[in-house]
């Protein structure tokens, strides 16, 4: 008996899984080297496909229109044709096929059908019944040198230690900022410092220092594409990068020190609208932590001395439905009670991680059944004790930040989540903007268990109120003086009563331009809304809309401003500005 026959006989006797049975299908290579696709059901992301030996196929995916048509082998390629659908989908799409046992990989040769190309290019399909392999994540800590004795943190002027300030509130009264300024003429600009590279991360402030991160590409033409569009394409920039942390003097803008945390070729691709430095650094006045996704977590003292680094391995974040679409990370670290807390929701695995801020040692790690997310976790001291809240697609969750134990969960969110939870008046406001759900939830502190609302219900004992179809996609909501402000990418500003959820107004902002990605901030009865084209709109806080001023920075603006000690620090695509009254 030939060896091949013996192997197939053993497989037949042990045909207990879809993967094994698929290997018994007719040979995948036909006459003259033509490819023959498996006839068993295949799965990739949220999609299922079946290629009939007779030459027809059907492809279906959650929230995607079904696609069917004919397929034909041409040597090592297949030609796919469909009838009807969007422009270009009546033509033939050609794909190179690579077979690995029961797995099939498609690589684009040519295809004018956009949805078909989005789904198939670089995709690897497995038998529908095959369990997804899960590799244990290896977290590696490196203590560069023994950490010095940590002094008490410097507190004077320490008002903006992480993304959106304390508890991600975005609020800092007592700033007395000017209503008018101009980045080009220098009106009410205290200083402007060029920052090399590309970054959407925001500045943070502690004492006399301002900290910003950047990724400096070896390609001088590297950039990103702003604007209101729905493309999920990745940037072509895979050139070597330097991931850098800068410390600046907050009074003069002088760079006090810069540290290159990592050099090399990026481990991931990034969205064409994104950068390789999206995460805002965090500090507690003793250490400053910069997280560069797959390039690791890096901690320095305030003088720029490297204390430790932690390699989390590759963090693959992208479209939940098409895993080949890599978008890169954006969640930022927060520091609470001596812990550096990270939210890591990826295609392969998802978890929360707490590291000791002094040493980088793992204090606790909590696994999560989640898909990729981009929001920053929020920790707040509530009437029921400390709570850590995360925004994600399967569930919005509350945890005990001391040990990572889950306290509550709330379902019915969007499939893509980016805004950060906000805490105010003993409630958490959480939103996300992917259609069709686009929810806003207001959750009371101290909730426990599964808070998911029954179909048709908008509130409960634990959920003060909720709305669908009104959540923001990128900007984090703002709660200020009893009003919830929700800013959409397309320039719609909604205002609601925090306690009741009553809609106060819905207003289309002037000068929408390329849209809004930065989150709003507030001070002294005014809201500051930054559009991508570099205009900062000043709007009066309150129950009625009033546009007070528009101020141009003269450069693209994607990052959220920081407020501290009478100054607004604005991170543009090329510079860091200090806006304030000149004395």
Q: Quick one: pLDDT at residue 129?
A: 86
Parent domain of 96: 3-127
Q: Output the pLDDT for position 24.
A: 37
- DSSP per residue, 453-476: PPTT----SSEEEEESS---SSSP
pLDDT on residue 18: 37
Q: What is the mean pLDDT of the chain?
A: 91
Q: Is residue 252 in a domain?
A: no
Task: Average the pLDDT over 137-149 and give the result.
Answer: 84
Q: Confirm if 348 and 316 have CB atoms less than 8 A apart.
A: yes
Q: Is residue 46 part of a domain?
A: yes
User: Which pLDDT score is estimated for 17?
Assistant: 38
- Which helix (H) or strand (E) segment holds residue 335: the answer is strand 334-336
Per-residue pLDDT at 3 exceeds 50 = no
- Domain membership of residue 37 (yes or no) is yes
Give the CATH number of the domain where residue 93 resides.
2.40.128
Reported confidence tier of residue 558, pLDDT bands at 50, 70, 90: very high
Cis, peptide link before residue 436, omega less than 30° from 0: yes
Q: Which helix (H) or strand (E) element contains residue 120?
A: helix 114-120
Q: Is residue 550 part of a domain?
A: no
pLDDT at residue 9 is higher than 70? no
Q: Kindly report the pTM of this predicted structure.
A: 0.91
Identify whether 576 is part of a domain.
no
Percent of the chain clearing pLDDT 90 (strictly above): 84
Is 104 among the domain residues?
yes
The pair of structure tokens assigned to 103 is: 């797995």
Task: Tell me which residue of 524, 568, 560 sits closest to 542, measured CA to CA.
Answer: 524
Please report the pLDDT score of residue 230 as a whole number.
80
C-alpha–C-alpha distance, residues 481 and 465, integer Å: 18
Number of structural domains in the chain: 1
In angstroms, the CA 89 to CA 81 distance is 8
Asked whether residue 162 is domain-assigned, the answer is no
Residue 94 lies in a domain: yes
């Amino acid at each position: 008996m030939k060896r091949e026959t013996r192997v197939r006989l053993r497989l037949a006797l042990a045909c207990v899984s879809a993967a094994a049975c698929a290997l018994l299908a007719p040979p995948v290579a036909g006459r003259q080297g033509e490819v023959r696709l498996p006839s068993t059901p295949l799965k990739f992301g949220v999609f299922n496909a079946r290629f009939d030996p007779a030459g027809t196929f059907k492809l279906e995916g959650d929230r995607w229109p079904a696609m069917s048509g004919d397929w034909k082998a041409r040597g090592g390629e297949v030609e796919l044709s469909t009838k009807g659908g969007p422009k270009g989908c009546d033509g033939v799409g050609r794909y190179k096929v690579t077979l690995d046992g029961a797995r099939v990989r498609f690589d684009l040769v040519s295809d004018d059908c956009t949805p078909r190309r989005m789904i198939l290019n670089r995709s690897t399909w497995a038998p529908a019944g095959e369990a997804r392999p899960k590799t244990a994540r290896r977290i590696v800590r490196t203590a560069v040198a023994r950490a010095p004795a940590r002094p008490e943190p410097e507190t004077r002027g320490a008002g903006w230690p992480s993304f959106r300030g304390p508890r991600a509130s975005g609020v800092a009264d007592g700033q007395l900022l000017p209503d008018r300024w101009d980045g080009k003429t220098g009106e009410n600009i205290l200083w402007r410092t060029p920052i090399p590279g590309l970054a959407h991360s925001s500045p943070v402030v502690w004492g006399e220092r301002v900290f910003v991160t950047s990724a400096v590409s070896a390609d001088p033409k590297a950039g990103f594409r702003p604007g209101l569009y729905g493309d999920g394409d990745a940037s072509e920039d895979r050139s070597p990068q330097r991931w850098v942390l800068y410390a600046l003097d907050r009074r003069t803008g002088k760079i006090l020190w810069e540290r290159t945390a990592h050099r090399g070729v990026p481990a991931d691709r990034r969205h064409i609208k994104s950068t390789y430095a999206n995460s805002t650094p965090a500090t507690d006045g003793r250490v400053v932590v910069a997280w560069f996704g797959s390039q690791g977590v890096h901690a320095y003292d305030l003088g720029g001395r490297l204390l430790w680094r932690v390699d989390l391995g590759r963090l693959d974040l992208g479209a939940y439905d098409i895993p080949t679409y890599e978008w890169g990370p954006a969640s930022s670290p927060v520091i609470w009670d001596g812990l550096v807390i990270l939210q890591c929701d990826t295609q392969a695995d998802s978890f929360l991680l707490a590291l000791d801020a002094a040493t980088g040692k793992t204090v606790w790690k909590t696994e999560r059944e989640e898909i990729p997310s981009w929001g920053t976790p929020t920790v707040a001291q509530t009437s029921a004790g400390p709570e850590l809240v995360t925004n994600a697609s399967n569930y919005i969750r509350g945890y005990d930040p001391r040990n990572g134990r889950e306290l509550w969960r709330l379902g019915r969110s969007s499939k893509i989540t980016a805004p950060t939870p906000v805490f105010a008046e003993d409630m958490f406001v959480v939103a996300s903007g992917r259609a069709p759900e686009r929810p806003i939830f207001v959750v009371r502190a101290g909730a426990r268990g599964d808070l998911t609302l029954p179909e048709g219900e908008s509130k409960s004992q634990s959920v003060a109120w909720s709305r669908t179809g009104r959540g923001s996609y990128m900007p984090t909501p703002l709660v200020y003086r009893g009003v919830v402000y929700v800013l959409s990418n397309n320039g719609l500003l909604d205002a609601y009563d925090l306690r009741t959820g009553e809609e106060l107004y819905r207003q289309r902002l002037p000068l929408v331009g390329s849209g809004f990605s930065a989150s709003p901030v507030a001070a002294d009865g005014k809201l500051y809304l930054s559009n991508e084209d570099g205009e900062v709109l000043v709007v009066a806080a309150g129950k009625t809309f009033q546009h007070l001023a528009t101020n141009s920075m003269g450069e693209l603006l994607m990052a959220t401003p920081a407020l501290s000690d009478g100054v607004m620090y604005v991170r543009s695509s090329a510079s860091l500005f200090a806006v304030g009254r000149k004395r």
